[in-house]
Amino acid sequence: MIPVWLKNKYILTACFFAVWMLFFDTRDVITTHFKQRGELNRLEESKAHYQQEIEKTRKELDQLKSDPRILEKYAREKYRMKRDNEDLFVISPNPIQ
């Protein structure tokens, strides 16, 4: 004998909809949960990396503000600045062929 609640078309439709949304839809609960968990892990790793980079940059900035020799060294290496009485030769690690 089939129970009465299985004969009700509204209950059957609601059950079918719930099963569809939980397991078969493109935004189903299970797949979405694991995707979001993976994305959260990647974002936390990225956050940690960028926090380390920020800390390293802050230390470098403090050194540049406090020591003029380090500021000169940084300007020469990073921006290839030179004094008026100097010549600057840049040697490229990958020569043009």
Report yes or no on 57 lying in a domain. yes
Report yes or no on 49 lying in a domain. yes
Q: Which helix (H) or strand (E) element contains residue 6?
A: helix 4-7
Mean pLDDT of 51-59: 97
Mean pLDDT of 8-21: 90
Report yes or no on 61 lying in a domain. yes
Map tokens 């990073």 to a residue.
78
Token couple for 67: 């020591």
Residue 90 has what pLDDT?
77
Domain count, the chain: 1
Token couple for 4: 């009465």
Report yes or no on 55 lying in a domain. yes
Domain of residue 71 covers 4-79
Residue 97 has what pLDDT?
60
pLDDT above 80: residue 71: yes
CA 74: distance to chain centroid? 28
The rounded radius of gyration (Å) of the Cα atoms in the chain is 32
Report yes or no on 90 lying in a domain. no
Report yes or no on 45 lying in a domain. yes
Report yes or no on 94 lying in a domain. no
pLDDT above 80: residue 85: yes
